[in-house]
Structure 1
Amino acid sequence: MLRLWDAISRRWLYLAGALIVAGLFGAALYLQYVLRQDPCPLCMLQRVIFIVIGVLFGLAALHNARQIGARIYAVLIGLFAIAGVAVALRHIWIQHLPKDQVPACGPGLDYMLKNFPMSDVLQELMHGSGECAAKGWTFLTLGIPEWSLLWFVLLGMFALAVGWKKN
């Protein structure tokens, strides 16, 4: 198995990471537009983080950097994956609050983006709202934020493994 890992170039591995993120984003769009699972503010923030991770994987594949560059890409992806883990954990925490402790629903994201300063929008996004507490689609007993958490961890670890892979 290690021989196979060593035989695959970093460029192909970074491309695989970008394709995985594209698949995850496609699944999110399927949930939203086919299964009518409207994303909450924390879901939207997680999507943005996934997009950034996917773009970084894609840039790393296109750039085909050597050792130092590959490690820089890996660390950047890892940092965004950690941010994604933090947002997903916050989302999971809100979903597991008792009903009487769930934050009140605030204004919609579109309204906030049009009328609030960006610092206020980010603060509201991180606090979550009542709509973030709704448990929607599940697969193998895990909801969307649990799956996001798992994928952020896997993608971060994968990026670091690729970045520190031998030539």
Structure 2
Amino acid sequence: MGDWTLRQWSLTGFVLCVAMMAAALVMEHVFGLEPCPLCVFQRVAVIAAGVVFLVAALHGPRGRAGAIIYGVLASLAVLAGAGIAGRHLWLQSLPADQVPSCGPGLDYMLDVMPFQQVLNNVLSGSGECAEVGARFLGLSIPGWTLIGFLVLLVCAFGMLFSGRGRGTAYRWNG
């Protein structure tokens, strides 16, 4: 993998984003797990990263500047999602008496509040975000999502160091 092109890293990142969104939609529509506001924001981060990965793959810039721009944009989306997933895990780890009370639903907040206030309310958390809806191999959904974001971060960093994009790869001389 050390000599992958920007396009290969981008396509890998995009496929992983599609897989993460497919898993989220299966959990919601097949298993009936309703996403909390923090889950919705994590989905937005996955979609944002997926768009960057897809555009980078389609564009396939030749120079270092393109690799840096796309790598930084993908990294920002991924790091935002990882931060939200980390916050979600922290809320789930709180003792029951320290969990914030449940607030209004995300749809209601988006209808009646300015976006900045919605963002503040969602990131401060609510009781519904502290509930652990399901576990797989001992990890909650936000735990798996955080792992997914860390894998996506490898793809974003791969883009940063991929060199010239189309067909040529940056090789470590060391």
TM norm structure 2: 0.89
Alignment of 1:144-155 (within 5 A): 144-155=141-152
Which whole-Å deviations, capped at 9, do the CAs of 1:56-103 have from their partners, x for residues lacking one? 000000110122101211111112211112111110010010101100
> 1:15·1:57 contact (CA, 8 Å) conserved in 2?
yes
- 1:163 Cα deviation from its structure 2 partner: 2.3
Once the 2 structures are TM-superposed, how far is the Cα of residue 136 of structure 1 from its aligned partner? 1.3
Unpaired segments of 5 or more residues in structure 1?
Answer: none
More helix by share: 1
Match for residue 91 of structure 2?
A: 94
**2:110 alignment partner in structure 1:** 113
Q: Within 2, Cα distance between the matches of 1:96 and 1:11?
A: 39
Find the partner of 1:20 among 16, 19, 27: 16
**2:72 alignment partner in structure 1:** 75
The alpha carbon displacement at 1:117 in A equals 0.9
Runs of 5+ consecutive residues of structure 2 not aligned to the other structure: 164-168, 170-174
| Aligned counterparts of 2:8 and 2:48: Cα–Cα separation in 1 | 19
Please provide the CA RMSD for this pair: 1.3
Structure 2 counterpart of 1:60, which letter? A
CA contact (8 A) 2:36 2:128 kept: yes
Contact persistence 1:15–1:58 (CA under 8 A) = yes
Aligned length: 163
- Letter matched to residue 26 of structure 2: Y
Match for residue 48 of structure 2 among 39, 46, 52: 52
Match of 1:124 in 2: 121
TM-score, length of structure 1 as denominator length = 0.92
Indicate whether 1:41 and 2:25 are aligned.
Answer: no
Q: Structure 1 residue runs of 4+, over 2 Å off?
A: none
CA apart distance, 1:165: 2.1
**Percent identity over the alignment?**
45
**Once the 2 structures are TM-superposed, how far is the Cα of residue 12 of structure 1 from its aligned partner?**
2.9
Kindly indicate whether the alpha-carbon contact (under 8 Å) linking 1:21 and 1:51 is maintained by their aligned counterparts in 2.
Answer: yes
